[in-house]
């Protein structure tokens, strides 16, 4: 095989990888299925959305902008951050999370028409008699309505089984349960403003058709409470009070979950209160700020009812509500990162990074075919520049996330993906700076782009906000910035080593190096250096983890799967280095072993999460394990390719030597 | 070097297999199997690679036991990595790293042999089921038979203990007589069950012909994956000095009901429970606090204010997750929090500390400073060498 064919093979492989990445990225960002028509749907005005995005709410244990809350809620229900419909006048409308959430709160009749629910297995709908389309599709609340009662009944029984042992649930039952949880979330959102929109309709009001705003009834709470207390000592309760009590309870319950909107004046009360909580507390006499509670509910009523008068009136009332909440949040020092966070999610940094990396792939391809010509040099520098820009577009969001979270950048699995992506690109540029041999520039942008797609996929799969605060045992900025960062850099280093070795295997097996031993030696040196780096980072990271564990759990080493995975990386790096010094492996051996090192890293980084044991347990669903197995298979493929090439080369060399010395070709026995 | 490489690869394989096997057999059982000194060979369960073979007792080819691989690695490292290695500026980093690793493995060995581990549960108010002040810890997995003399309704004299080393191996029909020279009787022990609970013979017949005592027998149950959840059981009988043999009686750490023995006119009470070991000072719980991230069930912090009382001197100490109390060769970790009887919603009033006595507690920390420094030094020297050589001897571009 000559080098030209080899180049085309590499090009084809690279093209396949990039096509897959681009196709996945596009598919993830585009809506699936038929575009639904929701006649009468009018998009929200841009000014309204800008205003609403910055409303602070408390969710997941922290205060965040409504935009973030909407984004992750939509992601968990819809499996994407946007949906496309045909709205009023037959126009295509792209609905983003904030718009969807405003619909849920203020236009629930339209929200119930939107294809909100992603259903991955239509069997769960067929089981309750709902008309289905494809196996995977999206459904509106109204589509699901005919079978909802039955589905909820089933879910209640599955919930009981799950309480005993979640492992007893069959996949279909688990999916039904999850679906019902999603439906419940949607019902909380769409029912949240019911009280504000509709008020109460007591018996006296029915005759005149006059509704009674909840805030007005709240003002009469002391009187109602007094009457109810008197009832305890035997006095009769008026019909009016009885009805109001029932209606108030209904109103409070409908607005109890979904949105914790009101911070308490008292800084020691960490929990923000929902509208339902405000209503409930005033009637039970358990609030220290009755006047503010009434004002808050009045503001919500004004916002909800103002929409009838047009969006500008709505905005005016919304701005008043927001200003009041922001002021209180600032007093509690909880508003600090809201604008920053809203900006972080608006900018879509990782998508830009993806674009830079894809650009780097293109320029690397040009570089690959143009060699040392002028075009080759230009494309070389373009690749370095694009990679650097990509790196910057990874560093910025990672830094922003750290500022928002007030902790070092890595605290959960999602964080590790983007951090490792950043580290791999940084290491690759470092290797290039040290060797100036271009060999990492072709493969790095592909891997970097792949990791961004993986991060997005993972985020969609989890459907939760990874900026949320950490559990007690992880709340240590000292250990997060030492142990976690070091061990994660160790993973990145292990992966870049495997990449370098894959480059080596491809160069030699496809004869791309033209027998240039200095190039081979450079790659080997770089791989060796990276193994050393992997060892240092993994060893220090692992032992620091042990010291942390010793301080938090009382044991240095607990044979927890995650710890074991890290130890395996250390042991493998040590084994490679010792085998090399002992002369048991040479160039080929080092590279094949370092590709296997990539498998060990994948085991430690991902596979152990599927085992569902230990203290670093992320509770992964076993059905996704195949993704890790595919990675193992690809790495094993490279090892096999390298091993076969190595054997063929050795055999060819032996034949050549035999010929030179006039000995007959060796005959295999 | 060949031996070192082989040992490292074997250790990696053992770690990998033990990681997979603990999913099926639990951590404690797997560690006993892979890394205990009594196991020179390990037969990995074939089900770790072929899940369809689960429970069929099929095994993969044997590997040397982890404890002995580590021991051999220490010898190999000492001989090859410290003694025989060429000494010089170029190797000083490696020597330091080798020394650090040896130290770390030794620390692990010392911990395995010497470490004692227990739990101390304290309540803010005594009477909530746990004491407010204690000077003892209860072992998590070890049991013990405690023999106390009773005189006039009160305990008298020393308490005698029979450690679990005397009966943990008594499976099936195996029995052992434990001589108690200071007491007027001996004990014959048999039928140890790692996880058992007393069962009324009226509700079910003994499945394996277990002895029935006063209508009860010990029903053996599958061991828990977390060994501390197991409630061991044991059969025993009293052997009098006159050669008389008492009836078999049951000891269960599940029921914890004591057995009374009368011998030589004296009365003794035998109880069976997780082993209690003394702590050389008293610990008093002042306040236990658990906090959750607002509007979630995600724990934010667990912390306790305690008073350490030693010879009448009192010291206030704060313990939280990631910040244990190290004192007098012991370490107290925040382990659990519970809402006591009087505790309001989510407000913890009982705090559980894990108490560990481990002479090698801080050794791994010292060793990583040494190894880390050694490795960084070595590889930085190499990197410098590579960079300067690379500059002075440029190679042609590809």
pLDDT tens, position by position, A547-585: 888 888 777 888 888 899 999 999 999 999 999 999 999
pLDDT above 70 for B219 = yes
Q: Assess if residue B261 is contained within a domain.
A: yes
In which region does residue B328 sit, left (phi positive, over 0), alpha (psi from -120 to 50) or beta (all else)? left
**How many CB atoms are located within 10 Å of the residue B2 CB?**
11
Task: Identify whether B195 is part of a domain.
Answer: yes
pLDDT on residue A472: 83
CA distances from A341 to A268, A393, B295 (A): 24, 16, 20
Reported as a pLDDT band with limits 50, 70 and 90, residue B397 is: very low
pLDDT in tens, A190-230: 999 999 988 887 655 555 667 788 998 888 888 888 888 88
Strand order in the sheet with A83-86: A36-37, A83-86, A92-95
The mean pLDDT value for B375-395 works out to 74
Boundary-marking domain end, from B243, B276, B309:
B276
A246 to chain B, closest Cα gap in Å? 26
Residue B238 lies inside a defined structural domain of this protein:
yes
- Domain contains B377: yes
CA distance A419 to A414: 9
Within this chain, do residues B154 and B271 fall inside the same structural domain, yes or no? Answer: yes
What's the whole-number mean pLDDT along residues B38-67?
88
Confidence at residue A499, expressed as pLDDT on a 0 to 100 scale: 95
Answer yes or no: is pLDDT of B318 > 50.
yes
How many angstroms separate the CA atoms of B362 and B103, rounded? 11
Q: Between residues A70 and A21, which one has the greater pLDDT?
A: A70
User: Chain A closest CA to B198's CA: distance in Å?
Assistant: 24
**Among B276, B301, B328, where does a domain finish?**
B276
Residues B70-121 pLDDT 10s? 999 999 999 988 888 888 888 899 999 999 999 988 898 888 888 888 999 9
Looking at the structure, tell me whether residues B149 and B48 fall in a common domain.
Answer: no
Question: What predicted TM-score, i.e. pTM, was given to this entire model?
Answer: 0.86
Please give the pLDDT value at position A621.
64
**If you search the block for the tokens 């690749």, which residue do you land on?**
A383
Q: Does B281 lie in the same domain as B236?
A: no
pLDDT at A170: 86
Restricting to B residues 13-42, those with a Cβ less than 8 Å away from any Cβ of A are 15-16, 18-20, 22-23, 27, 30-31, 35
Percent of chain B with pLDDT over 90: 36
Top mean-pLDDT range of A353-357, B195-199, B263-267 = A353-357
Q: Does B10 touch chain A (CB under 8 A)?
A: no
Residue B104 forms part of a structural domain: yes
CB proximity B380 to A under 8 Å: no
- Is B386's CB within 8 Å of A476's CB? no
* Contact partners, residue A423, CB within 8 Å, separation at least 6: A488, A489, A492, A493
Flag whether residue B144 sits within 8 Å of chain A, measured between CB atoms: no
**Chain A residues in contact with B20 (beta carbon < 8 A):** 611
Contact present, B218 and B200 (Cβ < 8 Å) = no
- Band of residue A71 on the pLDDT scale cut at 50, 70, 90: very high
Across the interface, do B11 and A435 touch by the CB < 8 Å criterion? no
In a shared domain, residues B211 and B89: no
Q: Percentage of chain A with pLDDT > 70?
A: 95
Q: What is the pLDDT of residues A470-482, one digit of tens each?
A: 888 888 888 888 9
Quick one: tokens of B25? 């057999």
| Domain tally, chain B | 3
B313/B262 same-domain check = no
Using DSSP, state whether A225 is helix, strand or coil.
helix
- Average pLDDT of the residues of chain A: 89
Q: Range of B315's domain?
A: 116-132+277-357
In this structure, the answer to whether residues B41 and B103 fall within a common structural domain is: yes
Query: What 3-state DSSP class applies to B83?
Result: helix
- Which B residues 107-136 touch A at CB under 8 Å? 107-108, 111, 117
Total count of residues recorded for chain B: 398
Given a cut of 90, is residue B26 above it in pLDDT?
no
B139 Cα to chain A: minimum distance (Å)? 14
Residue B269 and residue B172 share a domain:
yes
The pLDDT of residue A365 is above 60: yes
Strand partners, B356: B117, B331
Query: Are B355 and B336 a contacting pair, CB within 8 Å?
Result: no
DSSP H helices in A54-96: 66-78
Q: List CB contacts (< 8 A) between B365 and chain A.
A: 547, 550
For residue B84, is it within any domain?
A: yes
Query: Cα distance from B173 to chain A (closest Cα, Å)?
Result: 34
pLDDT level of residue A488 (50, 70, 90 thresholds):
very high
Contact B11 A552 (CB under 8 A): no
Looking at residue A613, what DSSP letter applies? -
pLDDT score for B392: 43
Highest average pLDDT, of A151-155, A618-622, B293-297, comes from A151-155
B343: pLDDT strictly greater than 80: no
B92 and B213 fall within a common domain: no
Q: What ipTM, to 2 d.p.? A: 0.84
User: B180 to chain A nearest CA, in Å?
Assistant: 36
pLDDT at B65: 93
Question: What is the torsion angle, in degrees rounded to the nearest 10, for the CA atoms of residue A182, residue A108, residue A466 and residue A121?
Answer: 30
The mean per-residue pLDDT over the stretch A7-23 comes to 87
Q: What is the DSSP letter of B119?
A: E
**Among B214, B244, B276, which residue terminates a domain?**
B276
pLDDT digits (tens, 9 = 90+) for A300-336: 999 999 999 999 999 999 999 999 999 999 999 999 9
A468 contact residues in B (CB cutoff 8 A): 293, 298
**Inter-chain residue contact B22 with A475, CB threshold 8 Å:** no
Q: Which residue in chain B is spatially nearest to A468 when comparing CA positions? A: B293
Q: Does B211 touch chain A (CB under 8 A)?
A: no
Are residue B310 and residue B255 in the same domain, yes or no? no
CB contact under 8 A, A532 and B379: yes
**What is the four-CA torsion angle of A523, A529, A533, A538, rounded to 10 degrees?**
70
Residue B398 lies in a domain: no
On whether both B105 and B66 belong to a single domain, the answer is: yes
Q: Are residues B219 and B330 in the same domain?
A: no
Average pLDDT, chain B: 86
* Minimum mean pLDDT range among A74-78, A164-168, A284-288: A164-168
pLDDT of residue B224: 79
Check whether residue B373 and residue B346 sit in a common domain.
Answer: no
Residue A68 pLDDT greater than 90, yes or no: yes
């Amino acid at each position: 095989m000559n080098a030209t064919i080899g180049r085309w093979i590499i090009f084809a492989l690279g093209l396949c990888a990039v096509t897959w990445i681009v196709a996945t990225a596009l598919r993830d960002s585009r809506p699936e299925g038929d575009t639904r028509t929701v006649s009468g749907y009018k998009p929200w005005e841009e000014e309204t959305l800008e205003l609403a995005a910055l409303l602070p709410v408390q969710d997941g244990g922290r205060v965040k902008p409504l935009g973030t809350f909407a984004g992750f809620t939509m992601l968990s229900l819809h499996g994407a951050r946007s949906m496309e419909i045909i709205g009023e006048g037959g126009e295509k409308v792209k609905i983003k999370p904030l718009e969807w959430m405003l619909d849920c709160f203020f236009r629930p009749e339209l929200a119930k028409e939107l294809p909100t629910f992603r259903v991955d297995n239509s069997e769960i709908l067929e089981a309750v008699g709902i008309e289905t389309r494809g196996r995977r599709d999206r459904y509106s609340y109204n589509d699901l309505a005919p079978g909802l009662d039955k589905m909820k009944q089933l879910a209640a029984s599955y919930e009981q089984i799950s309480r005993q042992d979640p492992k007893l649930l069959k996949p279909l039952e688990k999916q039904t349960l999850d679906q019902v949880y999603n439906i419940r979330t949607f019902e909380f959102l769409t029912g949240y403003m019911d009280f504000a929109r509709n008020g109460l309709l007591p018996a006296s009001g029915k005759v005149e058709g006059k509704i009674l705003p909840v805030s007005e009834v709240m003002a009469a709470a002391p009187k109602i409470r007094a009457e109810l207390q008197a009832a305890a000592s035997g006095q009769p309760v008026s019909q009016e009070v009885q009805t109001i009590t029932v209606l108030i309870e209904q109103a409070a319950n409908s607005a109890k979950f979904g949105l914790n909107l009101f911070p308490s004046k008292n800084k020691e009360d960490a929990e923000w209160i929902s509208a339902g909580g405000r209503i409930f507390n005033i009637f039970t006499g358990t609030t220290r700020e009755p006047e503010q509670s009434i004002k808050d509910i009045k503001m919500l009523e004004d916002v909800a009812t103002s929409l009838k008068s047009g969006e500008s009136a709505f905005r005016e009332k919304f701005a008043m509500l927001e200003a009041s909440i922001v002021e209180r949040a600032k007093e509690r020092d909880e508003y600090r990162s809201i604008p920053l966070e809203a900006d972080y999610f608006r900018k879509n940094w990782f998508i830009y990074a993806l674009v830079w990396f894809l650009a780097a792939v293109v320029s690397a391809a040009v570089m690959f075919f143009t060699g040392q010509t002028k075009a080759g040099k230009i494309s070389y520098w373009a690749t370095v520049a694009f990679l650097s820009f990509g790196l910057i577009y990874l560093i910025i969001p990672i830094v922003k996330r750290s500022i928002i979270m007030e902790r070092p950048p890595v605290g959960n699995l999602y964080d590790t993906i983007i951090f490792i992506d950043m580290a791999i690109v940084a290491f690759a540029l470092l290797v290039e700076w040290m060797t100036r041999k271009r060999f990492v520039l072709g493969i790095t942008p592909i891997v970097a782009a792949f990791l961004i797609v993986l991060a997005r996929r993972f985020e969609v799969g989890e459907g939760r906000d990874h900026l949320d605060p950490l559990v007690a045992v992880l709340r240590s900025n000292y250990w997060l910035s030492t142990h976690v960062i070091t061990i994660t850099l160790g993973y990145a280093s292990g992966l870049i080593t495997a990449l370098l070795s894959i480059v080596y295997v491809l160069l030699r097996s496809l004869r791309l190096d033209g027998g240039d031993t200095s190039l081979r030696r450079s790659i080997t040196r770089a791989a060796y250096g990276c193994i050393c780096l992997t060892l240092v980072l993994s060893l220090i990271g692992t032992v620091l983890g042990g010291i942390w564990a010793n301080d938090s759990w009382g044991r240095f080493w607990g044979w927890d799967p995650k710890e074991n995975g890290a130890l395996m990386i250390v042991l493998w790096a040590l084994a490679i280095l010792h085998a090399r010094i002992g002369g048991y492996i040479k160039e080929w051996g080092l590279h094949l072993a370092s590709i296997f090192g990539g498998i060990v890293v994948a085991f430690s980084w991902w596979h152990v999460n599927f085992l569902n044991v230990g203290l670093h347990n992320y509770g992964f669903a076993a059905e996704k394990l195949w993704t890790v197995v595919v990675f193992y298979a690809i790495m094993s493929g490279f090892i096999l390719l390298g091993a076969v090439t190595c054997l063929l080369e050795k055999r060819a060399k032996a034949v050549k030597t035999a010929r030179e010395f006039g000995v007959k070709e060796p005959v295999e026995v | 070097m060949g031996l070192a490489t082989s040992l490292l690869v074997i250790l990696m394989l053992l770690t990998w297999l033990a990681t997979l096997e603990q999913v099926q057999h639990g951590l404690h059982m797997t560690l006993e199997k892979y890394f205990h000194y009594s196991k020179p060979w390990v037969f990995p369960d074939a089900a770790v690679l072929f899940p369809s073979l689960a429970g069929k007792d099929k095994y993969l080819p044997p590997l040397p036991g982890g404890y002995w691989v580590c021991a051999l690695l220490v010898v190999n490292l000492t001989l090859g990595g410290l003694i025989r290695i060429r000494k010089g500026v170029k190797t000083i980093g490696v020597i330091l790293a080798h020394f650090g690793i040896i130290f770390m493995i030794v620390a692990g060995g010392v911990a395995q042999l010497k470490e004692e581990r227990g739990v101390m549960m304290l309540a803010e108010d005594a009477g909530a089921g746990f004491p407010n002040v204690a000077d003892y810890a209860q072992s998590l997995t070890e049991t013990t038979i405690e023999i106390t003399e009773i005189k006039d309704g009160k305990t008298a004299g020393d308490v005698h203990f029979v450690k679990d080393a005397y009966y943990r191996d008594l499976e099936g029909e195996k029995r052992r007589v434990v001589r108690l020279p200071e007491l007027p009787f001996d004990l014959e022990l048999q039928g140890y069950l790692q996880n058992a609970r007393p069962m009324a013979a009226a509700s079910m017949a003994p499945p394996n012909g277990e002895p029935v005592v006063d209508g009860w027998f010990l029903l053996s149950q599958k061991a828990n994956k977390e060994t501390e959840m197991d409630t061991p059981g044991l059969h025993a009988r009293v052997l009098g000095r006159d050669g008389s043999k008492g009836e078999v009686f049951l000891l269960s750490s599940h029921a914890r009901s004591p057995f009374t023995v009368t011998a030589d006119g004296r009365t003794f009470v035998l109880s069976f429970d997780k082993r209690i070991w003394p702590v050389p000072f008293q610990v008093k719980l002042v306040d236990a606090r658990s906090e959750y991230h607002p509007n979630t069930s995600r724990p934010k912090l667990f912390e306790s204010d305690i008073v350490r009382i030693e010879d009448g001197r009192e010291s206030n100490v704060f313990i939280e997750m990631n910040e244990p109390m190290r004192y007098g060769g012991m370490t107290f970790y925040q382990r659990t929090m519970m809402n006591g009887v009087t505790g309001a919603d989510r407000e913890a009033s009982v705090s559980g500390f894990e108490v560990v006595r481990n002479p090698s507690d801080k050794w791994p920390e010292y060793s990583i400073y040494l190894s880390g420094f050694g490795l960084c030094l070595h590889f930085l020297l190499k990197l410098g060498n590579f960079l300067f050589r690379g500059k002075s001897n440029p190679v042609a571009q590809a």
